Amino acid sequence: MAPGAQEVEAFLLRLARLAWPRAQADLEESRRFALQELGLADLMPWDMGFAAERLRRPRHAPDSGEIRRHLPLDRVMAAPFDLVGDNLIARMLGARQFQSGLGLLRQAELALFDPRLHASAGGDNSPDPQAVLEAVRDEIAVVRPPEWHRFAHAFSHIFAGGYAAGYYSYLWAERLSADAYAAFGEPGADRAALGARFRDEVLARGGSRPAAQNFLAFRGRRPVDEPLLANWGIAA
């Protein structure tokens, strides 16, 4: 999907650099919450998910009954989002971007580890996979698993899941998607014309040409990172 490894590396490192301050703030918030509300003086990596969920629920978790009230068939067919209250929308948007710095940084970590591991493979002098992963973490991580943790051994995406040296494509595709969608929100956008061009240059073309060419034909330029970062709540 990407033109080369160097462009992928630069893309991922930029995302990591921009996400790092938000990730650090997310971590500090979790530590404060764990100390004040859960009695955990030292928030360990294996407690992060539990603490995050306890923090998220009262702040962002929408009431399922409230959501269901907006979704009878007649309202769904009549565009329900014109009827959903601002408070519920704010909670749903907040949930989407909750601890997004940590989330984006984690995805960048995995996406960098994958191609670096494959690039270093082969021969008697190949580095230990754990050493490759720890080097990535040294570069960008704010949360470090315990020394005994061996995530790479269970990273099935890149060994049995068809993503060998291609895990980056999650974020790469999200970048194309976010930038394409952003066209419809630009001032003065002719949404009907944009929709027709998206249909003709992306949907109708499908896999008959590279996705990068489809995007260029639709947008008239190469993709940028800002819409992707905005979706994650990260300032560019």
Cβ–Cβ < 8 Å for 57, 158: no
Whether the per-residue pLDDT at 46 is higher than 60: the answer is: yes
Q: Give residue limits of the domains in the chain.
A: 22-100, 169-232
Q: What is the share, in percent, of the chain residues with pLDDT greater than 70?
A: 96
d(CA 66, CA 204): 39
pTM of the predicted structure, to 2 decimals: 0.86
Q: What is the mean pLDDT of residues 135-155?
A: 92
The whole-number pLDDT of residue 79 equals 65
Q: What is the mean pLDDT of residues 166-191?
A: 95
Cβ–Cβ < 8 Å for 227, 182: yes
* Polymer length in residues for the chain: 236
The whole-number pLDDT of residue 80 equals 53
**CA 37 to each of CA 34, 80, 108: distance values in angstroms, whole numbers, following the listed order:** 6, 37, 30
d(CA 173, CA 168): 9
Q: What is the tens place of the pLDDT at every residue in 96-115?
A: 899 999 999 999 999 999 99
Give the relative orientation of helices 211-219 and 169-182 as an angle to the nearest 10 degrees.
Answer: 20
Whether the per-residue pLDDT at 150 is higher than 80: the answer is: yes
38-52, 59-73, 115-129: segment of lowest average pLDDT: 59-73
d(CA 197, CA 218): 6
